Amino acid sequence: MIEFDYSLDYKSLDFTEKDNRHLYRIGRGEQGVLLVQPYSAQLCLFWRFKTPQEAQVSAETLSTKFYEYMSEGDFVGMDMCRKFLEMGFTRARRYANHHSGRKYDKNGEIRPQETDHATCCYAESAKIFKMYRDGAANDTIYKAARKRWRDAEGQWAKCLPDPPLPPWKRV
């Protein structure tokens, strides 16, 4: 797997342009979800998880966009929708576990989990996003496209210089 490349100038890259598409890296989980333009800006408009009602509309909309990108043969768009669905799930779970959204206290210790972490509105929002995220991630067309993209990443990477290590990985 090729790691997400944080060294690119994402502010100036348009990943809908044919010449830039090969620079997209799937990475792990949600990596790059807020960097890859114009997808991030477009999909952020639909991303909400504060209430189950908002989460339902958001997840349905992101899922619809996922299948629109699929019908257009746009893997980057599909993967970005999957990442936003993943982020909806993980952020809603974070707020379900810690209503303030902060997992750690000022001393760096993990705060206790909320007593209603499994039943609060954020937990319901997380369930909604997880259902749509699982549907997208397990779609057979998406899985085949992801495999083809991963295979191609290896070929593209041979043509590009190695990206510098991100600051948090430097020794």
- Asked, for residue 5, whether it belongs to a domain, the answer is no
- Asked, for residue 165, whether it belongs to a domain, the answer is no
- Asked, for residue 22, whether it belongs to a domain, the answer is no
Query: How many C-beta atoms lie closer than 10 Å to residue 143's C-beta?
Result: 11
**Average pLDDT, stretch 43-68?**
97
Residue 78 has pLDDT above 70, yes or no: yes
Strand partners, 104: 110
Residue 115 half-sphere exposure toward CB, CA atoms < 13 A: 0
Confidence of residue 160 (pLDDT cuts 50, 70, 90): low
Question: Both tokens of residue 26?
Answer: 């799937």
- Asked, for residue 59, whether it belongs to a domain, the answer is yes
pLDDT given for residue 159 in this prediction:
58
Cα 153 from Cα 1, distance rounded (Å): 8
Confidence of residue 140 (pLDDT cuts 50, 70, 90): very high
- Asked, for residue 120, whether it belongs to a domain, the answer is yes
Strand partners, 132: none
Cβ distance 128 to 53 under 8 Å? no
Cα 91 from Cα 83, distance rounded (Å): 12
> Can the peptide bond before residue 164 be classed as cis, meaning omega within 30 degrees of 0?
no
- Asked, for residue 12, whether it belongs to a domain, the answer is no
pLDDT given for residue 170 in this prediction:
55
Cβ distance 69 to 78 under 8 Å? yes
pLDDT in tens, 122-134: 999 999 999 999 9
Cα 154 from Cα 148, distance rounded (Å): 10
Confidence of residue 3 (pLDDT cuts 50, 70, 90): confident
Identify the residue whose tokens are 């620079």. 23
Confidence of residue 80 (pLDDT cuts 50, 70, 90): very high
Confidence of residue 151 (pLDDT cuts 50, 70, 90): confident
pTM attached to this predicted model: 0.87
Residue 100 has pLDDT above 90, yes or no: yes
Q: Which domain holds residue 88?
A: 29-151
pLDDT in tens, 9-53: 999 999 999 888 888 999 888 898 999 999 999 999 999 999 999
What is the tally of structural domains in the chain?
Answer: 1
Residue 161 has pLDDT above 90, yes or no: no
User: From residue 132, how far is each of 53, 84, 139, 151 by CA, in Å?
Assistant: 14, 10, 11, 26
- Asked, for residue 144, whether it belongs to a domain, the answer is yes
Query: How many C-beta atoms lie closer than 10 Å to residue 28's C-beta?
Result: 10
- Asked, for residue 8, whether it belongs to a domain, the answer is no
